[in-house]
Amino acid sequence: MRQRLAVGNWKMHGSLPENRSLLDAIVAGAAGLRRAACAVCVPFPYLAQAQSALAGSKVAWGAQNVSQHPRGAFTGEVSAAMLREFGCRYVLVGHSERRQLFGEDDATVAAKAGAALAAGLTPIVCVGETLAEREGNVTEEVVGRQVAAVADALGAGGLAASVLAYEPVWAIGTGKTATPEQAQAVHAFIRGQLAGRDGKMAAALQILYGGSVKASNAAELFAKADVDGGLVGGAALVAQEFIAICKAADSAQPD
């Protein structure tokens, strides 16, 4: 059975004092979770703060990007081993903002996921179509290509140790959430695609939905059979919103 998971993506937001109160509130709110898991992916400079605030709590933490290289002359980059030193469990890979604004292609995303796995991190690999692609009826083609690139590089064993996040680009930060039916359709498509490679891995793989997840829509999204939780941007910066989303994941988790 797949555990439900709610992950906050803070993006480039926060400050030491703001984070302190947000992290403390999330720890308190997450204490009552019985089945679901939750995590926050914070900017690199705040990893030490997240580690000290969250260690021993029900909240895991991670980063939002990682180098595909293990070490070397890559100014400004951060390796997966460095993230491990700060207790990270997760790292986002291939977020649409990385793909669109920083030119990350499928091969780079796959290499980053591989580097994360090699260091013992769980990559949360993000895929999703743009509005033009959805309107052009090529959602499955685009998402299928993104998923295949990662599956080819990682193999079934690597995917079994990863998490996928379906984030339609048109729903990110726009307040325009995919309907539960739209999300479910793509999640089922991804799971079906991967079942063609390895049925057991596909059945066990956590596939999160992301794109304007809020406390008010989380329960209906997470109720869908193939939606195993959420990757949450804006709403993850508001403690009560994020806690409510974690609780929705908890309630959606079958016993």
Query: Any idea which residues carry the catalytic annotation?
Result: 95, 167
Residues 6+ apart with CB under 8 A from 147: 127, 164, 190, 193, 194
Q: Using the rule CB under 6 A, give the single segment among 12-20, 22-30, 45-53, 229-237 that binds ligand PGA.
A: 229-237
The answer to the question of residue 213 lying near ligand PGA (CB under 6 A) is: yes
Nearer to ligand PGA, 39 or 231 (CB): 231
What's the rounded Cα separation, in Å, for the pair 161 and 164? 10
The answer to the question of residue 91 lying near ligand PGA (CB under 6 A) is: no
**HEC per residue, 55-103:** CCCCEEEEECCCCCCCCCCCCCCCCHHHHHHCCCCEEEECCHHHHHHCC
The answer to the question of residue 167 lying near ligand PGA (CB under 6 A) is: yes
Which listed residue (14, 62, 94, 233) binds ligand PGA by CB under 6 A?
233
What's the rounded Cα separation, in Å, for the pair 116 and 121? 5
The answer to the question of residue 123 lying near ligand PGA (CB under 6 A) is: no
For tokens 């720890």, the residue is 27
Which listed residue (4, 6, 9, 221) binds ligand PGA by CB under 6 A?
9
The answer to the question of residue 173 lying near ligand PGA (CB under 6 A) is: yes
The answer to the question of residue 146 lying near ligand PGA (CB under 6 A) is: no
